[in-house]
């Protein structure tokens, strides 16, 4: 059983809960919102996003580059953190 203060990465290696990996999408989104309030998420190039994540103090790269889906999900989480979460209507398609 794993230590409640730790978790495992994809290779079974023990990581602190404070450590971020590419799968911690919501936590990365919130960390980016806190750390880079001046950044324009509308026009952020993917390579800059990747660099900003890797520069987060708690980030531990796992050796695999993030795919486009992961980067897209991180931006979505970042915007959610800045703008306060889902505000869509389930009826938007009926217009």
Partner 1 sequence: MSAADRSQAGIYWQSRMGNNADGIGGNCHRYDIVTSDAQGRPARGRLVVDYGIKIHNGGGAYDCSFPSPEDLFARRGQPNPEHAPDALLLTHSHEDHLGALKHAIDMGYRLPPIHCTPFTAELVKKSLAGAGIIEADRRPEIHTVKPGEPVKVGGAEVTFVPVDHLPGASALLIRTPEAAVFHTGDYKFDATMALGERADPELLRRIGKQGVDMVVSDSTSAGEERPKVTEREIGKHLETIIAGQKGRAVVAGVLGTQLDRVVSLGRAAKANGRSLVVSGASLVQNIQAAERAGHSLERAIGAPVLLAKDARDLRADKALVVTTGAFAQPNAGLTRSADHLPGALYIGRDTTVIIPQRAIPPVAEAHRGMVQRLEATGARVITAERAVEMGYGAIHQSGHAIAADTRLLYTLLKPRHVVSPMHGAPGQIEANGEIARSLGLKPLILRENGAVVRVNQTGVETLGRENLPRIGAHETGDLKQLPRARPGEGRRPRPPAIYRYDRLDAAGEVLLSRNVDAYHGPARAPRPSRDAQVR
The C-alpha atoms of residue 54 and residue 63 are separated, in whole angstroms, by 11
Distance of CA 73 to the CA centre of its chain: 7
Pairing of strands 14-16, 6-8: antiparallel
Select from 1, 2, 11, 40 the one that contacts partner 1 (CB under 8 A): 40
Shortest approach of partner 1 to residue 2 CB, angstroms? 11
Select from 26, 50, 60, 62 the one that contacts partner 1 (CB under 8 A): 26
User: Token pair of 83, please?
Assistant: 């703008």
Residue 11 or 40 with smaller CB distance to partner 1: 40
Select from 1, 2, 57, 69 the one that contacts partner 1 (CB under 8 A): 69
The C-alpha atoms of residue 18 and residue 27 are separated, in whole angstroms, by 10
Shortest approach of partner 1 to residue 59 CB, angstroms? 13
């Amino acid at each position: 059983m794993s230590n409640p203060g730790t978790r495992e990465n994809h290779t079974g290696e023990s990581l602190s809960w404070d450590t971020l990996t590419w799968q911690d999408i919501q936590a990365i989104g919130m960390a980016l919102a806190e750390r880079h309030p001046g950044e324009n998420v509308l026009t952020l190039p993917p390579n800059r996003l990747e660099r900003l994540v890797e520069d987060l103090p708690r980030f531990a790269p796992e050796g695999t580059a993030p795919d486009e889906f992961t980067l897209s999900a991180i931006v979505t989480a970042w915007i959610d953190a800045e703008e306060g979460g889902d505000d869509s209507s389930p009826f938007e398609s009926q217009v």
